[in-house]
Structure 1
Amino acid sequence: MPSLTFSSQHLPGVTVIAVAGTIDTTTAHLLDDYIRRTCHHGDHIVLDLSEVPYMRGSALHVLLQTHLATQRDGAALHLASLQPGPARLLRVTEVEGMLNVHQGVEQAIRAALQAARPSPVGGPVS
């Protein structure tokens, strides 16, 4: 039976989820369920996909739904460390430009933490 494994870490305003395994029609719902159970409302989400060698269109559906949900909450989805197969899927479906894709997990976490940081009321102080 195919499966995915997950681990997560909560930072201020950011949830980091590491995913390992193949995301296809039989496992995409596991990713969706884990994201829904793990993430706090309004958190930016970083998905570490460094251990995901392959994903199908069903995974893309979960990513796009998560992207839209985080946007509605005033946050964002950040994808990190895509292997060649998943990166190609995003490229050929022309979704890559819609999503926040980062080369490394550290870059994605920095970007998410920066975005989660509240801006000063009234703008920057000079």
Structure 2
Amino acid sequence: MSPPTFACQHMPGVTVISVAGDLEAAHADQLDAFITRARRRPGDHVVLDLSEVAFMAQSGLRVLLNVRALTRRHGGDLHLAALQESPARLLTTTGARPVLTVHHSVQAAILAALYASQPPRSEL
């Protein structure tokens, strides 16, 4: 299993983080630290591109749930994108799937996050 690498891109109200490699228990703290450093504001929406993550341990899932809770507490949300079979199965078997916002593609996740980050329009 290969150690993960991380990359970040900022958009208005959205932080997109790409993860590549395996999220074993030993790497959960690295993921958490990277997400914490990458976000501009706690309320920004976070998109996690997991298309290059073939394996995720429960400790990685715990990081995702904690990030979701913190982000939602400040008005944002966590969007997971392009899960491979093993991470998707972990979400299902642990019962976390209904709690997390999962998109089939990175593009769909980014569009949803950008839309959600826009202030509501007032009606005239």
Question: What TM-score does the superposition give when structure 1 sets the normalisation length?
Answer: 0.94
Aligned to 1:55: 56
Aligned to 2:38: 38
Distance in 2 of aligned mates of 1:26 and 1:2: 11
1:71 correspondence with 2:72: yes
Structure 1 alignment gaps of length 5 or more: none
Alignment of structure 1 residues 17-28 onto 2, 5 Å: 17-28=17-28
Are the counterparts in 2 of residues 13 and 44 from structure 1 also a CA contact under 8 Å? yes
Distance in 2 of aligned mates of 1:59 and 1:66: 11
Structure 2 alignment gaps of length 5 or more: none
Q: Secondary structure in 2 aligned to 1:26?
A: helix
Shift, 1:2, TM fit = 5.1
Q: Secondary structure in 2 aligned to 1:108?
A: helix
Q: Post-superposition, which runs of at least 4 consecutive aligned residues in structure 1 deviate over 3 A? A: none
Between Structure 1 and Structure 2, whose CA radius of gyration is higher?
1
Question: What TM-score does the superposition give when structure 2 sets the normalisation length?
Answer: 0.96
Equivalenced residues, count: 123
Alignment of structure 1 residues 69-108 onto 2, 5 Å: 69-108=70-109
Q: Secondary structure in 2 aligned to 1:9?
A: strand
